A and B are shown apart, each in its own frame.
Chain A
Amino acid sequence: MGDRRPPRRLVSKLLVAAGLLSGAASPAAQTAPPRAPRVELELDQLNDPAGLEQRLRQLLGPSTGSDWAVANGEVHRGGFRLGPGQSLRGHLLVLRGTADLSGQVPGNVVVLDGDLVLRAGSVVGGDALAIGGRIREEGGKVRGERRSLEGAVPGLNRSGGGLPEGLVKLAGLAGMVVTITLLGFGLVLFARPKFEVVSDTAAHSPMRSLLTGLLAQVVAVPTAGLLVIGLVMSVVGILLVPFVAITLSLLAAAGVLMGFLAVLHAMGESQVRRRMAAGAPAGSPNSYRYLRIGIGSLAAVWLVWVAFGWVPVAGMLVLLGAGLATWLVATIGLGAFLLSRAGTRPAFTGRFISPEALTDEYLWATPQLGVSAVKRPAGGPR
């Protein structure tokens, strides 16, 4: 049986020949220089100077060599001077330079990155706008509105390129991570026992903590309202209303924050213990490390949003997911905070482990810092 397919070398030769022929058919396309793209602008409305500036800078950045045109007007680059007695038709756009007018412009005048100087005798029939500059009235007149916009443009560098939105979000995320980390380290440093009790409560009773947190969110505002109304009704307690309002707000904020961090601590602790139990190197097990890992895990979720938040539908879904995860952590934390009475009640933590559970595996994987050493039974071998 012979192979009827054409050999590969022949096919490639035919393709090259076809390409050459097609090129030869249009010699002009090869010899003529590439034509600059044409940028068309409307300057009839100058109501939104910030928007117009954004557009101009966007166009100016990549297409410096483009052929610019203004509908019913003209464009000049790097400064423009209109002498006395001279006049233009329609609008005037001056890019990256000063517009020095002594004559008449019947339409609107826009200057980007330069001043608009109105000498004696000059008249602008329409509106005047100076972006990245000022309108200097030196005897001239603007019949329409005068606008000027000065100062650094946010998110734009000198060349006109924009600061990526992702970088801004990343900076925001980094700021939040650092703030939360510092707060968490402060809690570990100054309130470690209570903080660990809240963390253990969240770890051992997550569902109860979640339900308690949900309930607390539902009843918090009505309860506070009732308390304030009760104080007002008692007349004498009216003076206490501001203090109660401030105290309740601070307590709520402290509860949510401590609980939130405690859940992140529990997440980190759980991960470290799993690694240790699996025999993997897990580094030094301490609360700072637990917090770091927990915060890192949550930040990773938000990092996905930073990376893919721009995707039309998926970005919104990622944002919703990250928001939901954060809310869940905060709710469980608040519940754990309430169940453990701000870490003063360790009943939910499961800290009192039965002697049967203290196996060698448990003790190996569990740091026993702070646990007093068991005394040798009296009368045992020495």
Chain B
Amino acid sequence: MTGVRWAGLRGNARWTVLSAALLAGCGHPVPLRQFEYARPYDGEPRLAAEVEFEAGALTIGPGRPEDLYNMSLRYHAGRFRPVGTFDGGRVTLGVESLREGGLRIGGRPQAARIGFSARPDLDLDLALGTGEAEVELGGLRLSRLGLNSGAGRVRLSFAVPNPGSCTEASVAAAAGDIRLDRIGDSGCGTWRIDGGVGKVTIDLDGDWHRDGRIVISQGVGGVTLIAPARLGLRVTLAGLLTRFAGDRFARSGKSYTSEGYQEAVRHLEVDVRSAIGAVRVEWR
């Protein structure tokens, strides 16, 4: 029986090898292209920026002082096309899909580095697909932030306080981990975080100019809050299967208030709506 089986396979070997050779001949790496785009700063008081990046690694941070914005993009030509348009104070950056299918063989991943001027007020919208995003907005005059991610890892940080005033920031990720660092320096009074499925870690450190509010909606996964001891923190939970873990908290129903909440200079209300998962607070 085995002999017959192998004999049949041998009989078709020539055809198989021919097909494999055809595949090898057809399979070529998707060409990567480099696109550079910049616009000089010309005294613009504000800039609305929209970044669309469907796949790959994205890095955003402060740019060259003489530029309003700049982008260095490595993209898969044939599947994506670069986007860089400026119209009436609004810039759109990134790549858009050509909706071409196919199999990518080898090659480096798609990547973009975008820099913004620290001089105008920045209204920033990020629409990300899959991949990794490192967003450092420290020092930029952020007035509003909206970040939407499909699947992947998102890290958003503020190494330097925001010199401007931010009304609201929202971060949403369908799947994957979100990490927010030093959001106290963001200058945003309200944060809305939609974690979907994955882990959410929020470092609440930074220079809070006013009391803040964070609304976290998490489907499945854990939420970790890293809080400085000087901050007054009240965590309110909603959800059937949400657990809370944290020291130095007084419980009242589904609300957990930190010790010294009343005496703290800055107060932070955190509402967590989670289907399944745990909320953990670590004091620093």
Contacts and interface: CB of A to CB of B under 8 A. Distances in A.
Interface of A: 47, 49-51, 134-135, 142-155, 168, 170-172, 174-175, 177-178, 181-182, 185, 188-189, 192, 232, 235, 238, 284, 286-289, 292, 369-370
Contacts of A172: 26, 101-103
Nearest to B103: A175
Nearest to B4: A369
Interface string B189-202: 00000000000000
Nearest to A232: B276
Given A49-B82, A238-B276, A148 B12 contact: no
B36 A152 contact: no
Nearest to A173: B26
A175 B23 contact: yes
Interface string B17-42: 00110110011001111111111100
A21 B19 CA distance: 61
A174 B241 contact: no
Interface string B79-119: 00110111000000000000001110000000000000000
Given A147-B35, A147-B84, A175-B27, A154 B22 contact: no
A269 to B, nearest CB: 13
A151 B31 contact: yes
A170 B77 CA distance: 19
A281 to B, nearest CB: 15
B19 A181 contact: yes
A145 B8 CA distance: 64
A286 B31 contact: no
Q: Give 7 closest A-B pairs by Cβ, nearest first.
A: A171-B26, A154-B78, A151-B33, A286-B8, A152-B31, A154-B77, A150-B34
A286 B4 contact: yes
Contact of A152 (B39, B40, B77): B77
Given A146-B38, A232-B241, 14 more contacts: A50-B82, A51-B81, A135-B36, A146-B37, A146-B39, A152-B77, A172-B101, A172-B103, A175-B26, A188-B8, A238-B276, A286-B7, A286-B8, A288-B12
Contacts of A235: 241
B22 A142 contact: no
